[in-house]
Structure 1
């Protein structure tokens, strides 16, 4: 089966994160742009691949992978020579997965709730991330030692978390842009050649 990845993309979507990861992994891929205005993400042909009609979506070795965090984690393991995830058996892999799942389960929901001005939940409510302030404080503590979430090792978790912080800061989520820890982290990760290639190829 072909090693080439089919990457379904629209630059006005979370697919930008997967694009950056594809470049970091040096993965062979072809890009298929889906036009949202034309509803190309809702055609029967695409819905047969991803019934949610969402991007990013990749197909690799005949397998469909959806959900941004899953795609990023999958690519790190599929292309281990890029060194974007701790090896199996390395204790750091636990920390790596912690931050990947934190990005999906805590950071993104907290950011979206805040930016969409949803009312705060009651303190005892069964909300997965607790509070927006707790999420940012936890993340800031993790990033303060630097330079990356796993210390000196840049990983796929930084692609995911770094993308989210950068995006949220650009769109005015409170507590991010202007904070020295977050600003320095975003500057480091967006200075990477793979990030620049992905953004140039949008």
Structure 2
């Protein structure tokens, strides 16, 4: 028996996993509704889920969306996962936080002093989060397929390409795709990508 573990992105939920049931017909598809939102806590939640699945199933495949991919990689779950599909993954959180600091016109010194800064675009910047990310670089050793939209505003092509090359992941780029795959055209592309891999 095989399982597919789905980890949603920011603002998502476990019910999104239902979309993947027909794409993984030989798997029990399980979505995780994590309750925390930091790499040290959420990574642990995902690790517990992956460990339980690995005890029950022969093979566990991971499908992770956006920050869900970052949280998954933060959980040190390599030994429980046979294959991974990352959709618009956040692969360099330090770079993303630094970019958001620029967008919010917040210096590193200001963030260190204030500890937490709420931005006009709805994101919370945290000094604790940034220092944790810097102290815990990503380690990932799972055969991985990556789907990336050329119009992704959160992760540059250079960043995703460097990650794919470093981790021997296969990168597929959808021209004019966005960070959030949600239109009919984008979802068809996503479905065909999974079927072909």
- Normalized against structure 2, the TM-score is what? 0.31
- Name the structure with the higher strand share: 2
- Name the structure with the higher helix share: 1
